[in-house]
Amino acid sequence: MEKLAELKALVETAEKEGQAFYEKNNNAAGTRFRNALQQIKALATDLRKDVTDKKNASKK
């Protein structure tokens, strides 16, 4: 559940940075937004792997 909480925090951060980039044309926020999206992608991939492993382990 710790990873899920981390994912939620990253999404909140990305939302704030995305708003700053799109609404205020803040280029530095755009860089932070892209970084947050990359971190979300990596964490989501890890979570998917954990779920698949746990699901498959229960089938054995």
pLDDT score of 1: 81
pLDDT value for 14:
98
Q: Cα–chain-centroid distance for residue 24?
A: 23
Amino acid 58: pLDDT: 82
Q: Report domain extents, the chain.
A: 2-59
pLDDT score at 60? 67
pTM: 0.85
pLDDT tens sequence across 23-60: 999 999 999 999 999 999 999 999 999 999 999 998 76
| More confident position, 54 or 1 | 54
The three-state (H, E, C) secondary structure of the chain, written as one string: CHHHHHHHHHHHHHHHHHHHHHHHCCHHHHHHHHHHHHHHHHHHHHHHHHHHHHHHHHHC
